[in-house]
Amino acid sequence: MTKQSLYTTCTRDCPSACGLAATVEDGRLVRLAGAPEHPLTRGLACRKASRYVQRAYHPERVTRPMIRTGGKGGGWKLASWESALDLCAEKLTRIRAESGTQAVLHYQGFGERTALKLLNSYFFALYGGATGLRGTLCGGTGQASQNLDYGERVSHDPLDHLNSASVILWGRNPASTQVGLLPILKDVRSRGGRVILVDPLRTRSAPLADRHIAPRPGGDGFLALAAARLVLQSGQEDREFLANCAEGLDGYLELVRRWSVDELCELAGVRLDDAAFLAETLTVRRPASILLGWGLHRHVAAHQTIRAIDALGAVSGNIGIPGGGVSQGFEEYGPYDQRWWGHELTPNRRTLLMPRVGREILEADAATSGPPIRMIWVNAANPACTAPRSDLVAEAFGSRECVVYCGHFLDDTARLADVFLPATTFLEETDVTASYGHNYIGPVNPVIAPVGECRSEFRMFHDLAGRFEFADAFQRSEMEWLEAICAPTLEQGVTMAELMRGPVRLNAPMVPFADRRFPTPSGRFRLVQDFDPGLLPATDPDYPFRLLTVAAHRFICSERTMADHDPLPEVRCNPARAAELGLTDGGAVLVTSPSGEAPARLVTDPSLRPDVLAAERGGWTRAGHDLNRLVADAVSAVGNGAPYYEAGANLVRSRDGAARPILVVQHGPGSPGGVFLQRLAQHGRPLDVRRMFVGEALPQSHQGFSALVALGGPQHAWDDADWPHFGPLMELMRGFDAAGKPVAGLCLGCQLLARAWGGRGWTMPELEFGFVDVAPTNAGRADPVLGPWIAEKGGLPRLMEFHQDSFDLPESATLLAGSAQCACQAFRVGRASYGFQFHMEVDAVTVADWSLALREGSVPTYREYRDQFPPEYFETLAAELPLLTDASGDFCRSVVDRWLALGNRGGARGPAD
Ligand SMILES: Nc1nc2c(c(=O)[nH]1)N[C@H]1C(S)=C(S)[C@@H](COP(=O)(O)OP(=O)(O)OC[C@H]3O[C@@H](n4cnc5c(=O)[nH]c(N)nc54)[C@H](O)[C@@H]3O)O[C@H]1N2
Ligand SMILES: Nc1nc2c(c(=O)[nH]1)N[C@H]1C(S)=C(S)[C@@H](COP(=O)(O)OP(=O)(O)OC[C@H]3O[C@@H](n4cnc5c(=O)[nH]c(N)nc54)[C@H](O)[C@@H]3O)O[C@H]1N2
Ligand SMILES: [Mo]
């Protein structure tokens, strides 16, 4: 066995950009941990980094190129790189000839922001200038605002906070979003210093702080003015700085005096002693470092807040001193030669506003100023999930002629694509990365070979360029390009070899503006003059809450898998407010906003302000998490940011939430009900799950339940001796049906349903395993549950099988579908009962588990079938798994929706007498 430890740098969308030690055994990555040699992150790394090993090898990861067949509603098929890149080149060439290069939109997201990413944009410049993006979903507002005050935003080196007597975390949650800061905060406190958290939510960073101040969202500007006024009243202001280094003092003083301190606190939604504590900390506990978070950006008037805080830093004498400053972030693309974006080649290229990208694409269809967007090329982004008004983004992307998606998983945006180009993760790449949270640049070293056929984006564009007239301009190796792009850093006197070996500190000040000169026209710090409360959002009585969709602790933005999702997103609300609305903890709710509604599960949380709702960002629409459709696609007043955190929202009880529970009978831990149960939960239906394999009991009758689902398991359906509940369960199946309540049996449940209606069970000569073709019967085509899907798609998707037993169709039943190996794949019986032999409910993780169990012979029932399938069979299955489970999952959801609707009509044959 070979075992190696390799140094690399985390490139994920996080300010920490930790140095990582990757442990590789026999070519397989087994561990990712913090590397001690990084001067800032010093051996730290978050759980998300350690779990990235699983992500790299995840069964849902797409590892072969895929092309959509049969138009927009069609399915995926695997393709070779040659044919996928040929198709992309052909589309790009044709659209350029017919409509011009601006008919192509290049959407570069935030998934990975390394040196070589500049070349993605360079490719589209050489192509002739595709439409690009302006503005940001992330942090541009803060930078634009600070540029107004300082002339240029420059943050203190995080290691300078070791000189701070106090740290104010303002709209920032490093306990979740930047582990690299945690040792510094602990150091401050261990020296008796103070940490204050300013955040409407009591986040995981609250325990790191001496005090948590919870203003109303967007109210921070008033808090900053209140604290400044208290500083001025106490006479502790930095007169020397205000007189010699700042401009606009009179206007600023006028602004500060426009409201009384009490009024300001009222407007900010804080207590007077909170403002006083802040003022005292900034003056008496100097030097104080204010660390602004990205949370502050996501408001229309973010610039007012940030500028008021900058001014507070100045008034309190904390600018330009060690341990002080108002720091916000760093330029992650700053260390590179900006020429390689290629923007100079195409100065007149069109740009669309990122925060409104859905609407802007749709509006371009009707505009006369440029061609409609015919094609979209997506790199490292998931805007159909992460951008505001995700519904409009989906509409816009879904209606283009061609969408090319480069990424890792079949997320919301990938599902709207026509070509999927599987990208490597940073673990499989050579590159260099800087950080938006500190001053170190570090190497990205390939610690494993590309998984499957994945390729780096660099290689994709390199090979694609080879199909164009500008091929030569792109033909350099990765290292040659890195030398060119990193030229400004190499000019510091660092060699490329050093850069690829470990972290290098960029030439940047530890303490910016230490000479008290600012790159503004006057050379002075600008004190904010304008503060327009009219820019703050008015409270709409129909949507009285602010919905804060903040960074999740366990995930970065939308980097998840289907299997990671709970059926519904959690939305937290203050219990008193929930009670006023008649809502209970744990119940299904609809979150509403002026732009729509989205289902969620309510969690009451007494730590919450009464005027906010809290949720995590990044859940996939496809997995039933759809909160970004509620967020207006507004644009912040400065910096073209996305004001996510001012979404007005309300809560109402889910329409189905009061329905009686659905009885679910589970027969084994390996058959959890997957997509079928998730979909029921997404409808807001309470589920009462009885786990028969741990001896739980069945209810006596259907009374109190609205439907019945019997899941699969490794048992024989006739094994009443070992499973005495089979008899009562079959009794229940008939009872539910007689009452017009829908019954569904999956796999073993299907066989039991057949028995319940007189069908006999038996064992087949061979195991039926894997995704097989299932053909509908004529009755299946006309069936209310299966028929609509078949009519739309022209047939059933390939569906997962895992069974050795089958059954004779009961006499009164109608056969709906069959496969070559097993005639009875789906039937309908009684008034509202359906048997499904196939496992439409599986996700990729379950199939991967089952494959492993079969290969290893770990389930005794199936051990004898081990040799029925050669190893290559499982390799192909693994390569196709993402597209197979994608299609079968969609089918399953459609079946659940229609099956559940039977209950409203009293069954497949209409209401009961
Ligand atoms: N675990 C994890 N880490 C991440 C990410 C992630 O998704 N998950 N995302 C990465 C990315 S893309 C970024 S940009 C950074 C973001 O890093 P952070 O800025 O730390 O994270 P956010 O959750 O966006 O916002 C921080 C806090 O701002 C608060 N906030 C909202 N409105 C206001 C307000 O008006 N005033 C005040 N004072 N606070 C307010 C929110 O309640 C939230 O707790 O984190 C990065 N790191
Ligand atoms: N409601 C709400 N929504 C938000 C926010 C919020 O606060 N609230 N915050 C916003 C913020 S701060 C941000 S930064 C955006 C992020 O929004 P997006 O830029 O859309 O990014 P992610 O969700 O991080 O998805 C990045 C994708 O890139 C993939 N990826 C990673 N590395 C590579 C690579 O090298 N090549 C390719 N091709 N793919 C790669 C990942 O697997 C992932 O699928 O979301 C925003 N959305
Ligand atoms: Mo971000």
Token digits of residue 9: 């740098």
Cβ of 294 closer than 6 Å to ligand 2, yes or no, is yes
Q: How far apart are CA 541 and CA 646, in angstroms?
A: 14
CB atoms within 10 A of CB 157: 22
Contacts 24+ apart (CB under 8 A), 78-84: 78/879, 78/880, 78/883, 81/453, 81/455, 81/463, 84/419, 84/421
For residue 560, the CA-to-ligand 2 centroid distance in Å is 10
Secondary structure letter of residue 557 according to DSSP: T
* Measured distance CA(744)–CA(679) in Å, rounded: 14
Between CA 423 and CA 269 the distance in angstroms is 46
What is the 844 CA–ligand 2 centroid distance (Å)?
22
Strands 775-776, 814-818: pairing kind: antiparallel
> Of the ligands numbered here, which is closest to the C-alpha atom of 109?
2
- pLDDT tens digits along 831-844: 999 999 999 999 99
Ligand 2 near 19 CB (within 6 A):
no
Contacts of 367 (CB under 8 A, 6+ apart): none
Q: Report the distance separating Cα 268 and Cα 218, nearest Å.
A: 8
Q: How many angstroms does the Cα of residue 95 sit away from the middle of ligand 3?
A: 32
Would you say the CB of residue 13 lies under 6 angstroms from ligand 2?
yes
From 654, 663, 129, select the one nearest 350 (Cα to Cα). Answer: 129
Within 10 angstroms of residue 690's Cβ, the number of other Cβ atoms is 17
- The mean of the pLDDT values for the chain is 96
pLDDT tier at 862, thresholds 50, 70, 90: confident
Give the whole-angstrom CA distance, residue 505 versus residue 148.
27
- Ligand 2 centre distance from Cα of residue 225 (Å): 34
What is the mean pLDDT of the segment spanning 3-29? 96
- Look at residue 192 in the predicted model and tell me its pLDDT: 95
Closest ligand 1 atom to Cα of 178: 47
- The candidate with the shortest Cα–Cα distance to 31, out of 446, 434, 447, 356, is 447
Per 3-state DSSP, the chain is made up of helix, strand and coil in percentages (nearest 5) of 40, 20, 40
Type of residue at 228: A
Quickly list DSSP for 704-752: T-SEEEE---SS-TT-TTT-TTHHHHHHHHHHHHHTT--EEEETHHHHH
Is the CB of residue 381 below 6 angstroms from any atom belonging to ligand 2?
Answer: yes
Q: Are 673 and 619 in contact (CB under 8 A)?
A: no
Atom index in ligand 1 nearest the CA of residue 217 equals 35
pTM for the whole structure: 0.97
108 lines ligand 2 (CB under 6 A): no
Q: How confident is the model at residue 140 (pLDDT cuts 50, 70, 90)?
A: confident
**CB 115 near ligand 2, within 6 Å:** no
When pLDDT is cut at 50, 70 and 90, the band that residue 670 belongs to is: confident
DSSP 447-497: -SPPSTT-B-HHHHHHHHHTTSTTHHHH---HHHHHHHHTHHHHTTT--HH
Tell me how far the alpha carbon of residue 174 lies from the centroid of ligand 1, in angstroms. 8
What are the angstrom distances between the C-alpha of 241 and each of 288, 314, 318, 704, 740?
Answer: 16, 7, 10, 73, 79
**Candidates 13, 57, 409: which one to mutate for ligand 2, based on the most atoms within 8 Å of Cβ?**
13
> 40 burial class (0-12, 13-18, 19+ CB within 10 angstroms)?
buried
Residue nearest to atom 3 of ligand 1 (CA): 177
**3-class DSSP state of 159:** helix
Task: Provide mean pLDDT across the span 846-852.
Answer: 95
Which H/E stretch holds residue 792? helix 787-793
pLDDT at 769: 96
Q: Which of 451, 418, 456 is nearest to 64 (CA)?
A: 451
Let me know if 522 is exposed, middle or buried by CB neighbors in 10 A (0-12, 13-18, 19+).
Answer: exposed
Residue 406 CB–ligand 2 contact under 6 Å: yes
Task: Please tell me whether residue 865 adopts helix, strand or coil conformation.
Answer: helix
Q: Which atom of ligand 2 is nearest to the CA of 139?
A: 12
The pLDDT, as a whole number, for residue 413 is 98
631 lines ligand 2 (CB under 6 A): yes
User: For residue 169, what are the β-bridge partners?
Assistant: 197, 291
Q: Is the CB of 141 under 6 A from ligand 2?
A: no
pLDDT at 912: 40
Query: In this prediction, what percent of the chain has a pLDDT beyond 70?
Result: 99
User: What pLDDT, on a 0 to 100 scale, did the predictor assign at position 866?
Assistant: 84
Of 50, 51, 550, 555, which is best to mutate to test ligand 1, by the most ligand atoms within 8 angstroms of its C-beta?
A: 550
Cβ of residue 169 lying under 6 Å from some atom of ligand 1: no
**Cα separations in angstroms, 349 against 102, 136, 342, 344, 400:** 7, 17, 11, 10, 20
CA of 721 to the centre of ligand 3 (A): 58
Q: How confident is the model at residue 911 (pLDDT cuts 50, 70, 90)?
A: very low
Return the closest-CA partner of residue 455 out of 498, 424, 499, 434: 424
- Alpha-carbon span 469 to 89, nearest angstrom: 11
3-state DSSP assignment of residue 246: strand
Q: Which two tokens stand for residue 135?
A: 């503005």
Contact at 8 Å (CB) between 376 and 358?
no
d(CA 171, CA 135): 21
Backbone angles phi, psi at 129, to 5 degrees: 100, 85
What's the burial of 77, exposed, middle or buried (CB within 10 Å: 0-12/13-18/19+)? middle
Residue with tokens 């069109």: 350
Separation CA 206–CA 220 (nearest Å): 17
298 CA → ligand 1 middle, Å: 9
Report how far residue 802's alpha carbon sits from residue 563's, in angstroms, rounded to the nearest whole number. Answer: 20
Percent of the chain residues past pLDDT 90, beyond the cut: 94
Ligand located closest to 555 CA: 1
Backbone angles phi, psi at 616, to 5 degrees: -95, 145
- Give pLDDT, residue 657: 63
> Is the CB of 612 inside a 6 Å radius of any atom of ligand 1?
no
Distance CA 285, CA 164 (A): 9
Output the CA 648–ligand 1 centroid distance in Å: 18
Give the ligand with the smallest distance to the CA of 177: 1
Looking at residue 858, what is its pLDDT? 86
Question: Residue 6: what are its φ and ψ, rounded to 5°?
Answer: -120, 145
User: What are 526's strand-pairing partners?
Assistant: 247
For the record, the structure tokens of 17 come out as: 């950009």
Helix extents (H) in 380-444: 383-386, 390-398
pLDDT in tens, 493-517: 999 999 999 999 999 999 999 999 9
Reported as a single tens digit per residue, the pLDDT across 285-294 is: 999 999 999 9
C-beta of 180 in contact with ligand 1 (< 6 A): no
Ligand 1 in contact with 216 (CB < 6 A)?
no
Q: Confirm or reject: Cβ of 753 under 6 Å from ligand 1.
A: no
CB 649 within 8 A of CB 545: yes
As a whole number of angstroms, the distance between CA 222 and CA 533 comes to: 9
pLDDT above 90 (res 374): yes
Q: Kindly state if the Cβ of 269 falls inside 6 Å of ligand 1.
A: no
With a 6 Å cutoff on the Cβ, whether 457 touches ligand 2 is yes
| C-beta of 646 in contact with ligand 1 (< 6 A) | no
Q: Which ligand is nearest to the CA of 110?
A: 2
- pLDDT of 913 > 80? The answer is no
Q: What is the pLDDT of residue 909?
A: 53
Task: Tell me the pLDDT tens digit for each residue of 425-452.
Answer: 999 999 999 999 999 999 999 999 999 9
Ligand 1 in contact with 557 (CB < 6 A)?
Answer: yes
Between helix 478-485 and helix 118-127 the angle, nearest 10°, is 100
Q: Is residue 335 within 8 Å of 361, Cβ to Cβ?
A: no
Q: Is 182 exposed, middle or buried (0-12, 13-18, 19+ CB in 10 A)?
A: middle
Q: CA-CA distance, 805 to 762, in Å (whole number)?
A: 6
Q: So what's the pLDDT on residue 72?
A: 80
Q: Please give the average per-residue pLDDT across 743-761, as a whole number.
A: 97
Say if CB 380 and CB 556 are below 8 A apart: no
Cβ partners under 8 Å of residue 451, min gap 6: 56, 57, 61, 63, 424, 425, 428
CA distance 599 to 581: 16
pLDDT, residue 655, reads: 78
Residue pair 246/238 in contact (Cβ under 8 Å)? The answer is: no
Q: Report the C-alpha gap between 241 and 321 in whole angstroms.
A: 11
**Is 382 touching ligand 2 by the criterion CB < 6 Å?**
yes
- Name the band, by pLDDT with cuts 50, 70 and 90, for residue 905: low
Residue-wise pLDDT tens digits, 55-111: 999 999 999 999 999 888 889 999 999 999 999 999 999 999 999 999 999 999 999
421 CA closest ligand 2 atom index: 38
> Which residues keep their CB under 5 angstroms from ion ligand 3?
138
pLDDT computed for residue 202 by the predictor: 98
- Which is the closest atom of ligand 1 to the Cα of 205? 44
Encoded tokens for 396: 């816009």
pLDDT score of 294:
95
Pocket of ligand 2 contains residue 422 by CB under 6 Å: no
Locate tokens 């890149």: which residue? 85
